[in-house]
């Protein structure tokens, strides 16, 4: 079963590597959205420092949502999804592996680039670590929860807009905790509470969401 999960992660990463433009668009979207704010609100350092965590996190939400539509759509269109459902591993494991691959492609680059974005907002250097850590814990939750929406809207016309309406409200707790952790650290307090809650959400989502996604996929594929 682990072999199958590993094969699937490897396959999805290989596919992403053959289509590098998909990775680049999500990442560039993140960079551009996060860079528009300093241009829009002006170069007032105190204001920029105050809005930085929220803006970076919102940009991360939007960018991660941008690539959700592709999570199952390709496999659905070419019949691979049917074969995965008939595969030797439970569908929940398949979903978990695909969500992980999605995070490596769309979430991990954001974690790595976020400190560079933070530079534009004159965020204090000690906060880079907290920001990256909050994204490291939070973006996988976005991929896993987003997979539920992607599965439910699979094969629907205009599914992209519906997907964002379904998924964005579910992202709210992650946004509050993620941006909150950085705010706490900026205020000189310990961000441990928020980060621990984010970690707890990650564990809960990783344990239960794949089975919900599997059920949704079975309904969509019928």
The span from the CA of 125 to the CA of 209, in Å, is: 35
Rounded to 5 degrees, what are φ and ψ at 108? -60, -40
Binding of another protein by 89 (CB under 8 A): yes
CB of 5 to another protein, least distance (A): 10
Q: For residue 90, state whether it binds another protein (rule: CB under 8 A).
A: yes
Any idea what DSSP says for residue 190?
Answer: -
Among positions 52-81, residues that touch another protein (CB under 8 A) are 74, 77-80
Q: What is the DSSP letter of 98?
A: H
| Shortest distance in whole angstroms from residue 1 CB to another protein | 9
Q: Work out whether 2 is an interface residue with another protein (CB under 8 A).
A: no
CA 108 to CA 32: how far, in whole Å? 17
Please report where in the chains the tokens 């599914």 appear, as a residue. Answer: 159
Distance CA 43, CA 10 (A): 44
Spatial distance between the Cα atoms of 182 and 188, rounded to a whole number of angstroms: 10
Residue 222 to residue 155: CA distance in whole angstroms: 11
* 186 vs 194: CA distance, rounded Å: 13
Binding of another protein at residue 40 (CB under 8 A)?
Answer: no
Fill in the per-residue mask, 3 to 22: x = in contact with another protein (CB under 8 A), - = not in contact: xx--xx--x--xx--xx---
The count of chain residues that interact with another protein, using the rule CB under 8 A, is 25
Of 62, 66, 73, 85, which lies in the binding site for another protein, with binding defined by CB under 8 A?
85
Residue 75 Cβ vs another protein, minimum distance, rounded to whole Å: 9
For another protein, give the closer residue by CB, 20 or 129: 20
Residue 44 is a binding residue for another protein (CB under 8 A): no
Between 84 and 137, CB nearer to another protein: 84
Q: State both tokens at 177.
A: 């905790």
The footprint of another protein (CB under 8 A) covers 3-4, 7-8, 11, 14-15, 18-19, 74, 77-80, 82-90, 221-222
């Amino acid at each position: 079963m682990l072999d199958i999960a590993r094969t699937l992660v490897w396959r999805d990463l290989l596919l992403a590597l053959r289509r590098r433009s998909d990775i680049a668009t999500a990442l560039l979207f993140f960079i551009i959205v996060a860079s528009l704010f300093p241009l829009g609100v002006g170069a007032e350092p105190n204001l920029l420092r105050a809005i930085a965590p929220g803006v970076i996190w919102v940009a991360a939400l939007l960018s991660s949502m941008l690539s959700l539509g592709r999570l199952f759509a390709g496999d659905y269109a070419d019949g691979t999804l049917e074969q995965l459902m008939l595969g030797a591993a439970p569908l929940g494991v398949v979903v978990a592996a695909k969500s992980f691959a999605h995070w490596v492609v769309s979430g991990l680059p954001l974690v790595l680039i976020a400190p560079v974005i933070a530079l534009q907002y004159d965020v204090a250097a000690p906060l880079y670590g907290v920001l990256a850590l909050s994204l490291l814990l939070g973006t996988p939750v976005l991929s896993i929860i987003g997979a539920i929406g992607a599965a439910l809207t699979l094969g629907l016309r205009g599914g992209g807009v519906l997907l964002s309406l379904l998924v964005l409200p579910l992202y709210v707790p992650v946004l509050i905790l993620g941006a909150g952790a950085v705010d706490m650290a900026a205020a000189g307090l310990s961000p441990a509470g928020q980060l621990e809650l984010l970690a707890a959400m990650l564990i809960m989502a990783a344990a239960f969401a794949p089975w919900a996604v599997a059920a949704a996929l079975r309904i969509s594929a019928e």
